[in-house]
Structures are given as C-alpha cells and as structure tokens.
Amino acid sequence: MPTIERIETIPLRVPLKHLYKGSYYKMRNRCTIITRIHTSDGVVGQSYNADTDEEQHEVLSIIHDEIAPLVAGLDVTEPERVWHSMIPVTLDQLRDRAIPMQAIACVDSAVWDAMGKVAGLPLWKLWGGFRDRIPTIAIGGYYGSSEEDLERELEFFSGTHGLVGMKFKIGARPPAEDAARLLFARDRVPDDFIFVVDANQGYTVPEALAFLDFIRDEVNLRWFEEPTRWHADWRGLRDVRLRGNVNVAAGQSEISRVGMREMMLNGAIDVCNYDASWGGGPTEWRRVAALAASFEVQLGHHEEAQVAAPLLASVPHGTYAEVFSPNRDPIFWNLLANRGDFVDGNLLLPTAPGFGWELDEDFIAQYRVDS
C-alpha cells in the first residue's frame, strides 16, 4: 500500500514582457505551484496548478500547514478518500474558500498522477480513454495590442501551430468597438478557424445582445463565454443564451459542483468551463463532468492545458484545451519538456503513466521563488 509520506512544493513566478488586460483585470506575472507527493514505495506524484499570484503564499501555507497533516499516511491509490480528508480546510468561514480549493487542487492533481503511475496508465485513459488527443484553441486578442500585434498573434496560432480556433477577449469597450476588433481578426484567418469570445463578465445583458447583433452576419461564434456581470448571476447567462440565440459558456468562477449544478439546473449554459486547478482538482472536475453529461452540457476547461487536456480527452463531451501565446504563458511553452508539436490543431497526450509530463529542471531553477 503506497502511502503519502510528504508533500513538496515549488512555487514559480515568471515576469511577463507585457501587461495583459482582459475586460477588467490585468496580468503582470504568470505563476504556478509544482506539487510533488512522495510515497512510501518511492512513487512521486507530480503536477503543476494554481496560477494565483498575490495569493500564492496562502495556497502554499494551506498545503503544508493544514493539508499535509490530514493526508499523511493515506493510501495514494484512494484519491476519493484523500480528497474528502482535505475538506476541513474549506470550513473556515473567515477566509475566501477559493484559496483552500486551489490548495486542494494542487494536492489532488499530484495524487492522481501517483495513482496513474501505480496503475501503469496515463490519466486520460484511466479516467475514461475516449481519445488520446484534444483539439486546442488559443486565448488572445487582449486589449492594448496593436493591429500588427494581433495579426502576428493570429498567424502564430492559425499558421505556425495550426490551432483550431481562438478565444477572443472583449467586454471592456462598447459592443460596436469590440465587434470591430473581432471582425478585423475574422478577416485574417481561414474560414474554418473557430472563434469564441470571452467578456470575462464585463457586459450587461443589453450590451452582450448588442455585440451579437453587430457580428451575427459575419462570425459564427462557437460560444460566448461569461458574457454578463457577476451580479446578473446565472439569469444573465440564461437571458443572453435564449434571447441572443448563442451558445453560452461559464463555470470558471465557480469553485464546486454545487455552483455548477445550479447553473445547469437553470438552463444558463451550453458549455461548462469549470477549472480543475481552481475548483478542487480532477476529483471535483470529474463530478462536474458527470453532472454536465446529465444535462447535455459540453465541457471546456479554463486554461491549464497540462491538467485540462487529459480530463477533456477522457470523456466524449469534451471540447477544446486552451493555450496562450508564449509571451502570455511562458510556463506552458517551456516547463513541459516533452510537449510535442500540435498535430492538426490537436495537443497529443503523453502515453507515460499519470499525467506523463516531464518538467524542465533548468526552467524550474530559473523561476522558483523559494530559493
């Protein structure tokens, strides 16, 4: 019985070359936490999650001070039991529960990697094995980029790497202006290049509907992500979905299956992009995936392709993994030492047990923040 002996973490922080702006947020650094579960039989489960910057130290503290004592001695091949042993860290009413859920996600992901290694199976196969690759879209179109910058970005994604589509940032400017930006992009890629738009909760319902009117005859959106502001709740999503006759995606801002259940019950979404790295790890994500199957809701995943790809590939209702440009996410492009080229827009999954990713130790040494 391989039991958990200790947890090792390595936080990374990579300064970005530019300040990236979505609708109402800004990103200066790209961060992650490498988590390693050391077991009694020598198996080491490993993953990286949690792109939180300012709260990174809180996540690390919860992992070492609160979670480690709860999981010590537990069988690493019993991930459900391990997951439930961590629930007490979410019960403190005086702190944001999103932070301990990120900490749980770090540990849960590493536990699953160990589970795959013990079983001798890659996780995409252990979780269901629907396919061994996943089509991938890019995230781009950030505010502050010139038209020349956007053209280079589109060429990098659609030409150099042949990705199947792009998630385009909108929501901070008037709908007509955002529509013009998207139409500029649409004219510079092949007809079969997919577009998703992401307002990051920036629009009101009337603004979201106006945006759709501006583009309706020009762009066939795959989905409209988080179109409305947080205080509109799921009703805003539902209204845009039904009145705008468009597929709506949301879920990344939820941290548990409970929130996703209510969103699906109320007919608010067509695509669930719940984030395993923000919402308790693969264990909780797979519960959400089962809910989605019951409601005929498709599955996306907010960023974190290294975790998202095997999850999405394991089930029939998975859609696309998501990646940024190398400038926006140098971690994905440099930390995964065995990541191959995209094939027909697909990220090929490793066949080695667990997640199967090999991490670049030189990159880790350069950007670790605890040394």
Q: Which positions of the chain have pLDDT values less than 50?
A: none
Task: Tell me how crowded residue 160 is: count the other CB atoms within 10 A of its CB.
Answer: 10
CA atoms within 13 A on the CB side of 117: 21
Q: What is the pLDDT of residue 371?
A: 56
Q: What is the pLDDT of residue 21?
A: 79
Looking up tokens 């995209």, which residue turns up? 342
Candidates 281, 244, 278; CA nearest to 355 is 281
Candidates 102, 143, 127; CA nearest to 304 is 102
Q: What is the pLDDT of residue 18?
A: 84
Which class is 4-120+363-367 in CATH? alpha beta
Say whether pTM exceeds 0.85. Answer: yes
Q: Does 125-348 carry CATH code 3.20.20.120? A: yes
The domain spans of the chain are 4-120+363-367, 125-348
Candidates 282, 203, 191; CA nearest to 240 is 203
